[in-house]
Structure 1
Amino acid sequence: MFGSPLDLYSSSQQAQAALQAGDALSAQAPGDEWLLLAMEAGDQAQQAQALLHLARCDRALHRPRDARPRSELAARLFRQLGDAAGEAGALSVLAHTASLAGHHEEAIEAALLGLRLAQSRGDGVALVVALQDLGACYVWARSLEPAHDVLRQAADAANACKPRQTPLGACLWLATGELLRLAGEREQRGQLPALGALEAHLINARHLLGEVLDGAVGGVTGELAGEAQCWWTLMQTLAQIWKGASGLAQPEFQQALALLPGGDRHWLAALAAWVQAELAWSRRLWPQARRAASQLVMQADAVQHEPLAQLGELIASQIEEQQGQPQRALQRMRALREREARVRIASLDSRAEAVQWQLDARRSERDRAQLADQAQRLEKLSMEDPLTALANRRSFEAQAEAMLRAGGVVSVALIDVDHFKQVNDLHSHLVGDQVLTQIARLMRQHVREQDMAARLAGDEFVLLLRGATEEIAAQACRRLSAAVKDHDWAAISEGLAVSISIGAAQRQDGDTLQTWLARSDAAMYAAKRARHAGEALEDGEGDTPD
């Protein structure tokens, strides 16, 4: 086992610090290491925390499909551990990601449960978050009356906090819900209804945004304040367009684009495409409007935001109808119905899985423990190469980074199977897979308990040798190379012979994983060249008369 309580603590602190600093990308690698060490230690509490951390990273990086299973598993583990605060945090992510997938019933269930947990804890800030989560789920589900009630409660709860929290988020969601209501009524009636409620929400949000930007109230980080400003500006632009003031809307739209966070990888980029489509529509610039509506669908799909993608199909259909293209309009409506059908099927499958889990969770304590073990094994599979059952690249990199940070004597050895393409070409890919599997067995036989053997990709393997100098590592490599060469490969396929090239490198002060592996890679290719030169020399001697 590599990990220690200190390693576990260090990984968790590094991961959380990066995420709190707004760098979700950098928070992933230490998060993976945190989860791996927690699994090795059999610490379910730390596993749940690490899973929730990784789910939050995925959420911040707009990867809800990755965040969803992690948050769901984290919620289950927290529930088994009796950790209400942890479960509420996981349910918040689950509600968000299920909502973006269009699984609205599941999202609302998770948000309602998170709200009950927040209410039972008596935590004012947690209550605001839970109410806002539920309100957002109702908004994307187009259940706008419940959304209005819940978001009003969220605003009241924020104002009641000590110190006061900003109700800006609740107000922005109220405005978003009103935008969706107006768009829906336009589709049904053929014209926009009055904009009074939308304008009231935007005026209120502008006042609250001013407080936040001035630092007069808590509850919003600098990054979120910028996102809120962009969100408000886009909605204000859309309101101007719908009022017929497209001349005022254009400069506001440019301002919103300048504020857009994360480039194209953000849901607000999809909202911006909606505004662009409405602006072109208002000016009857049909080619631009059509392109912008298609861009809305593509942007929404890029961030896995099903409600906005469906809205894009609806708007595209309306634009085609407005320019007298009924067949194209019908095609876009068919695309919308197909999306809705796919989401319904996926949602039903998801609910069936959830019901099955609920049934399993009602079993005896022994059965529930087995279920938790199964979940742990499933998560561990993500750290394992499926063909060879060795650690995979993700697992190796997490352990190697930990070794670099810990310091001390440790060596790495990259391994490459010589002429592996010829094995596949001459003996079949099935034989090639058997060769890789057998090499993995030989690697396991020739490493110590504290060492790691991993498959990086294809015919590339690696050893991580703890406490081994480069000389000791080289000796281990020679033993492994001899074992591979002497193995009875003909038993797998007649005429088959296999050899490997290995290059070892000891960790040096100042090494990164890249520089460390580069030295090992150079040593491996030097060994490969030396072997090939020796083989060529032997062939030449064999051809020379005595």
Structure 2
Amino acid sequence: MRASDMQALDRAWQMGCTGRSTLALEIAHGVHSASVQRNDPHVQARSAYEISWYCFQLGKSEMGLDYAEQAVTLWRHLDQPAFEAQALSIQAWLNMELGQLEEAVALAAEALDIADQSGDLRARSLAINVTGVIFWLSRQPPLAIDYCGRAVALAQEAGDRSFECWWLINLGGAQSEAAYMALEAGDRAAFDAAIGPAIEVTHRANDLARSLGDTWAERLCLGNLAEYCNAAEDFLSAEQFLARYRDIANEDDLRGEGHYLDILGRTLISLRRYEEALVPLQHAHVLATGSGNVETLMFACLYLSRAHEHLGAFEPALDFHKRYHSLHQQFTAERTQRNARLADIRYETKKLRMLLDTEAGRTAEIARSFAALQQQTTMLTEAANTDPLTGLGNRRRLEAAMDAVEASGEGYMLAVLDVDHFKAINDKLSHIVGDRVLIALGALIRGALRAPDLAVRFGGEEFVLLMTGVTVGQAKKTCERIRLTIARHDWSPVASGLSVTVSIGIALSSEGGIPHEILEIADRNLYRAKKAGRNRVVLSPRAGSSANR
């Protein structure tokens, strides 16, 4: 082991702790290559570990994972459990970054087990922090806050101020997750109660980052503070934090650039500076497209849509909104799948050491938490795909079903059904009566369909039907049956003297390309049905002649 190599790695680590990770990576790479040629396993192990961390900072997760695996193998061979645990923790974190959840959980559990046995404070702090991040990203903020908080305390006890700073950032993120989940549930008081501590903890992290000269961490803090203030509708503070972010020179923070641009665009929209907002949002869109970051790309599309709408550019606004809708489906499905996978993981006895303190009560607590997550995932997925008024599916469920039927190559029919003169029902009889009509329509439509058929409320008084494996004649017959059932229904319990009819436009998969094009054809046929006098079913002319043969 050469002293000059260790001095070089010490210098590189100092750079990595002060926002100069690119240069640190170059130095560590050089040391690692030389140590491989000399067959120096100690230097090789340390340099591989540090390279994996710099790769994490720079967003080079796949490259970092290779070096983390090397470091784990080498430290294990050298019988250095504390260093092995640290390398395992980084390996777990990088797997989490790459979406490899099961592997991340297993590695984090192993890291905790080894770190606990070693008694090394830094190793335990890092392993507990990574476990907290796993709970944070799986939307279990109480456990995430507990673990991240304990990681901070251990870093303080170990006297590692860089670890303390970085883990404080994660603690703030876990607390913000609690706030966002409260906001999603419509609980503003709980949001306010959670976002305050997130901001306070992130301020602490930022102060510590400044005292350490860690520009990488400081920019993370300022970006997060801007995000939290934006969520709390303190837009002027958010803009101030973003201005401070821009003033800090750091070429290594590419992983945070998309987040910064996204929050800047949102803030400018909230301040009604729509023209200004387009520039950072378009840049965020380009970066996220290149990196494949679905979440950043999704929000960039959403806020680009809003900015264009406010500027009166309705065509690009609609285009970006459609792309947002598609990305939101993908993001929701991926997050639901991730949480379901997390809930389905079966822990062996060794993996239960993930709970750290070997307390039976804590073991039971986490086990219950994972079981609850599985149940919650199922409930949320169902709720997210259901129209709360009628109990039918919603647009999200229709989009998923259309994607599935397109992938299968099976023939299908789409029908768009609209209530005739529904505005008059609302205006003359009240919106309450209108809602009762929609509820009854949902039940009537559902009762007229086969088990495999799908009916969704598309919006307002409009419904969409999806049927697979049907002929033109069967499709028309089903829609006529629905139309007649609604027209002949006794509506007097809803309102005295009320009558309800519907118009229906039908399109078959053979008439066009992708499902959205078929849906547009069905919508045009609905318009023809309205124009022809309402209370009727209309197919495309060629399809209609086939049905009448």
Q: TM-score, normalised by structure 2?
A: 0.50
- C-alpha offsets along residues 75-112 of structure 1, whole Å, 9 cap, x if unaligned? 23333443212322322322332222233333333333
> SS where residue 102 of structure 1 aligns?
coil
Q: How far apart, CA to CA, are the structure 2 residues paired with 1:20 and 1:194? A: 38
Match of 2:106 in 1: 109
In structure 2, the CA distance between the partners of 1:314 and 1:270, relative to structure 1 (3 Å rule), is: closer
> Are the equivalent residues in 2 in contact too, given 1:257–1:272 (CA < 8 A)?
no
In structure 2, the CA distance between the partners of 1:59 and 1:240, relative to structure 1 (3 Å rule), is: closer
Gaps of 5+ in 1: 215-220, 348-546
> Are the equivalent residues in 2 in contact too, given 1:238–1:278 (CA < 8 A)?
no
Q: How far apart, CA to CA, are the structure 2 residues paired with 1:68 and 1:51? A: 10
Shift of 1:332: 2.4
Match of 1:317 in 2: 302
Match of 2:220 in 1: 231
> SS where residue 244 of structure 1 aligns?
coil
Match of 1:335 in 2: 327
Residues 526-545 of structure 1: matches in 2 within 5 Å?
Answer: none
Shift of 1:161: 4.5
Match of 1:464 in 2: none
Q: How far apart, CA to CA, are the structure 2 residues paired with 1:248 and 1:343? A: 31
Q: How far apart, CA to CA, are the structure 2 residues paired with 1:181 and 1:254? A: 27
- C-alpha offsets along residues 496-536 of structure 1, whole Å, 9 cap, x if unaligned? xxxxxxxxxxxxxxxxxxxxxxxxxxxxxxxxxxxxxxxxx
Match of 2:256 in 1: 268
- C-alpha offsets along residues 276-323 of structure 1, whole Å, 9 cap, x if unaligned? 122133134556556544544544577x684xx424414633763795
Match of 1:20 in 2: 14
Is 1:281 the counterpart of 2:279? The answer is: no
Shift of 1:45: 4.5
Match of 1:245 in 2: 234
Identity of aligned residues (%): 16
Match of 2:248 in 1: 259
Q: How far apart, CA to CA, are the structure 1 residues paired with 2:319 and 2:183? A: 20
Match of 1:493 in 2: none
In structure 2, the CA distance between the partners of 1:341 and 1:35, relative to structure 1 (3 Å rule), is: farther
State which of 123, 127, 136 in structure 2 corresponds to 1:126: 123
In structure 2, the CA distance between the partners of 1:277 and 1:76, relative to structure 1 (3 Å rule), is: same
Q: How far apart, CA to CA, are the structure 2 residues paired with 1:68 and 1:165? A: 22
Q: How far apart, CA to CA, are the structure 2 residues paired with 1:130 and 1:327? A: 44
In structure 2, the CA distance between the partners of 1:242 and 1:291, relative to structure 1 (3 Å rule), is: same
Residues 3-402 of structure 1: matches in 2 within 5 Å?
Answer: 10-11=4-5, 13-22=7-16, 23-28=20-25, 31-161=28-158, 167-183=164-180, 194-207=191-204, 209-210=206-207, 221-223=212-214, 226-259=215-248, 261-262=250-251, 265-286=253-274, 288-289=276-277, 292-299=280-287, 306=293, 309-314=294-299, 316-317=301-302, 320=305, 323=309, 325=317, 328-335=320-327, 337=329
Shift of 1:211: 6.2
Q: How far apart, CA to CA, are the structure 2 residues paired with 1:232 and 1:101? A: 23
- C-alpha offsets along residues 452-500 of structure 1, whole Å, 9 cap, x if unaligned? xxxxxxxxxxxxxxxxxxxxxxxxxxxxxxxxxxxxxxxxxxxxxxxxx
> Are the equivalent residues in 1 in contact too, given 2:209–2:218 (CA < 8 A)?
no
Q: How far apart, CA to CA, are the structure 1 residues paired with 2:160 and 2:334? A: 45
Q: How far apart, CA to CA, are the structure 2 residues paired with 1:341 and 1:244? A: 28
**Matched residue type, 1:222:** G
In structure 2, the CA distance between the partners of 1:199 and 1:116, relative to structure 1 (3 Å rule), is: same
Q: How far apart, CA to CA, are the structure 2 residues paired with 1:110 and 1:86? A: 14
Shift of 1:258: 1.3
> SS where residue 99 of structure 2 aligns?
coil
- C-alpha offsets along residues 113-172 of structure 1, whole Å, 9 cap, x if unaligned? 222222222122332222223223333343433212211222333454469998544332
> Are the equivalent residues in 2 in contact too, given 1:294–1:313 (CA < 8 A)?
no
Q: TM-score, normalised by structure 1?
A: 0.50
Gaps of 5+ in 2: 340-549
In structure 2, the CA distance between the partners of 1:278 and 1:183, relative to structure 1 (3 Å rule), is: farther
Shift of 1:268: 2.9
